[in-house]
Chains A and B, each alone.
Chain A
Amino acid sequence: MSLISVRDLVVRIGDRVIASVPELDVAAGECVALVGESGSGKTTTLLSTLGLVHGADVSGRITVGDVDVLAASPARLREIRGSRAALVMQSPQAALNPTMRLGTLMRRALARHGVKGADARERAEEGVRAVLLDPEILRRYPHQVSGGQAQRFAIALALALGAEVLLADEPTSALDVTVQAEVVAVLRRLRDERGLAVLLVSHDLALVSTIADRVVVMRDGAVVESGPAAEVFARPSDPYTRELIAAVPELPEETVPALPDEALPDEAEEGA
């Protein structure tokens, strides 16, 4: 069953269509990626699913779980944003109150959803462990954690609140490659082990190819191609998709030479 379902979405500012998506579904345990460049409408599409596009006309039908997003009351929308769907942005540290320890932040968020005391502590620690962080991190302030830790904490916060849907907008673009890899590992794990529905926005096709089950390629507000990730990447049908793929810098394959017969490595090194 789809946890996110979008039909005939059209987002307009005045006469200009900034995003038009006929069909988009994300099921539990699935990662769908919206790819494209700045101005393609991918972030607008993602924000639309939580009713977060302001100052624009949004039409069509969007459901998250059983909630009709475009028809829902503000209170109902806040409820899905808080507990069912979580938004993870590019710079998580900017989203974390700098004056509060991460644990306090987590506890307040949980309290707002009626989870308190020992129950809250347990949920907090469990959320943090699910993103492979040590619960010790709950004692720290946002400036005392790295970008990758902050990003994982943002995900943990969503998990503690019971999110089933994760909306991630360029969650790794501001991070070092090594840290990117950790965040991707966490996302894969949550999708596979917890059955989270992940809607990922990224311009990094190589990264997307390692996690997405399906991709939707957008350009100038329109969907130019969509389908199973492996298929789209192996046989892109749209010239723009081909251009995006060709732009990914290639890394040569790793090669390992056989050991030379006469010189074992230990002997090549003097005084080792």
Chain B
Amino acid sequence: MTLLAAEGVTLAYGTTAVVHDVSLAVDEGGVGLIGESGSGKTTLARALLGLMRPRSGTIRYGTGDLAGLGRAGRAEFRRAVQPVFQDGSEALDPRMTAGASIAEALTTHHRMSRAERADRIAALLTDVGLDPAIAARRPHEMSGGQRQRVAIARALAVEPRLLVLDEPTSALDVTVQARILDLLERLAAEHGLGYLLITHNLGVVGRLCRTSSVMFAGRVVESGPTGELLTRPAHPYTRALRDAVPRMGGEPPRAAGRTEAAAAATGCPFRLRCPLAVDRCSAEAPQAREVEGRKVACHRAEEVLHTPASSAPRVPHGGEAPDAPRQ
């Protein structure tokens, strides 16, 4: 069941649109949102959290339009949809102990006695794998992983239905990252939580998300089952992202080339970086269409899908990088 969705959403800062006509549904499984910095993924997350009004399109919460919610409805929405950011310290007041931060969230939405509250805080901290004694500490007395766990406990305190996770592990050491991902996976299953996971790390969505969307320059260029996207990318950009991920003992990651090339204003926005771009890509912006179980916005998706990875045209790197000097 869809809990939260963007439907044809366009978002702008001032007169500059940064998200164009994006649709995305978050259901009870995990949904991944992948893209580089500047792709619009965090802006879309802000809109899904009700922090930004779409210029056009709708943010749908349950069966209604978020913009049409009354006071009570909005309060309920703010409880049900909880954000978790990259760095736990952003979510925690540096002057407050972990216990006080969680208590603040608890009492905003529920009335409870002091004893009940202490019990609930201890239970939440235990649930995120921390010793309840950490309740007495302030953020600077904790490690990055502990802070992120406290931030997650705080989000869970209000019994949300959905988490919006914006790069929740990017600032953490790899082993801590792995434990936080384990934790999120377990909590989502135990609490029946839906979640949107925003990241530039394909390995992370591969583990946690049933479906994923890939954003480039404010548009969703490919979406579908995560396994399909990772093992059989249909958009050249998805493939470039995949190729760039370093793998243990694998080939050196492939530079996607021309990452500084701007998104094209006409035709396909990816064409200036695309190794497959042809005349049609400048003339006509590809519309998202169904291709073998996913939606993809590329004129040449079938060729991408059916070209063996080893012989696929890729942007070369090293001496032949296309941004190599002229002359």
Contact A254 B231, CB 8 Å, known A188-B252, A265-B303 = yes
Q: Is the interface of A mostly helix, strand, loop or mixed?
A: helix
Contact A134 B308 (CB under 8 A): no
Considering the chains assembled together, what is the distance between the CA atoms of A207 and B203 in angstroms? 13
- Chain B residues with CB below 8 A from A254, complex form: 230-233, 242, 309
Considering the chains assembled together, what is the distance between the CA atoms of A227 and B88 in angstroms? 36
Contact A37 B175 (CB under 8 A): yes
- Chain A residues with CB below 8 A from B206, complex form: 249-252
Considering the chains assembled together, what is the distance between the CA atoms of A189 and B37 in angstroms? 26
- Chain B residues with CB below 8 A from A250, complex form: 203, 206-207
Considering the chains assembled together, what is the distance between the CA atoms of A253 and B251 in angstroms? 12
The residue from B143, B230, B291, B318 contacting A185, defined by CB atoms under 8 A apart: B318
Q: Which of A213-272 contact B (CB under 8 A)?
A: 230, 233-234, 243-257, 259, 265-266, 268-269, 272
Considering the chains assembled together, what is the distance between the CA atoms of A246 and B232 in angstroms? 25
Q: Which of B239-284 contact A (CB under 8 A)?
A: 240-257, 259-260
- Chain A residues with CB below 8 A from B325, complex form: 125, 128-129, 133-135
Contact B260 A149 (CB under 8 A): yes
- The digit string for A195-222, where 1 denotes a CB below 8 A from any CB of B, is 0000000011111011100000000000
Contact A37 B174, CB 8 Å, known A176-B259, A249-B201, A266-B302 = yes
Contact A252 B231 (CB under 8 A): yes
Contact A181 B248 (CB under 8 A): no
The residue from A209, A245, A252, A257 contacting B250, defined by CB atoms under 8 A apart: A209
Which single residue of chain A is at the shortest CB-CB distance from B37?
Answer: A176
The residue from A125, A145, A181, A253 contacting B244, defined by CB atoms under 8 A apart: A181
- Chain B residues with CB below 8 A from A230, complex form: 249
Considering the chains assembled together, what is the distance between the CA atoms of A250 and B248 in angstroms? 9
CB distance from A122 to the nearest CB of B (A): 13
- Chain A residues with CB below 8 A from B176, complex form: 37
CB distance from B181 to the nearest CB of A (A): 8
Question: Cβ of A179 < 8 Å from any Cβ of B?
Answer: yes
Question: Cβ of A41 < 8 Å from any Cβ of B?
Answer: no
Considering the chains assembled together, what is the distance between the CA atoms of A38 and B201 in angstroms? 20
Contact B250 A210 (CB under 8 A): yes
Contact B246 A204 (CB under 8 A): yes
Contact A203 B173, CB 8 Å, known A133-B323, A251-B242 = yes
Question: Cβ of A180 < 8 Å from any Cβ of B?
Answer: yes
Which single residue of chain A is at the shortest CB-CB distance from B144?
Answer: A38
Q: Which of A36-54 contact B (CB under 8 A)?
A: 37-38
Contact B251 A210 (CB under 8 A): yes
Contact A252 B230 (CB under 8 A): yes
Contact B253 A210 (CB under 8 A): yes
Considering the chains assembled together, what is the distance between the CA atoms of A37 and B171 in angstroms? 12
CB distance from A209 to the nearest CB of B (A): 5
Question: Cβ of B6 < 8 Å from any Cβ of A?
Answer: no
Q: Which of A140-195 contact B (CB under 8 A)?
A: 145-149, 176-182, 184-185, 188-189
- The digit string for B116-158, where 1 denotes a CB below 8 A from any CB of A, is 0000000000000000000000000001100000000000000
Contact A256 B174 (CB under 8 A): no
Considering the chains assembled together, what is the distance between the CA atoms of A210 and B259 in angstroms? 20
Considering the chains assembled together, what is the distance between the CA atoms of A66 and B256 in angstroms? 39
Question: Cβ of B191 < 8 Å from any Cβ of A?
Answer: no
Q: Which of B287-310 contact A (CB under 8 A)?
A: 289, 291, 299, 302-303, 305-309
The residue from B247, B260, B307 contacting A146, defined by CB atoms under 8 A apart: B260
Considering the chains assembled together, what is the distance between the CA atoms of A204 and B233 in angstroms? 24
Considering the chains assembled together, what is the distance between the CA atoms of A145 and B200 in angstroms? 20
Contact B173 A249 (CB under 8 A): no
Question: Cβ of B109 < 8 Å from any Cβ of A?
Answer: no
Contact A265 B203, CB 8 Å, known A129-B324, A251-B247 = no
Considering the chains assembled together, what is the distance between the CA atoms of A154 and B174 in angstroms? 26
- Extra 18 A-B pairs, beta carbons < 8 Å, given A180-B244, A252-B231: A177-B244, A178-B256, A181-B244, A209-B247, A210-B251, A210-B253, A211-B252, A233-B248, A247-B178, A249-B201, A249-B204, A251-B247, A252-B227, A253-B231, A256-B232, A256-B306, A256-B309, A265-B303
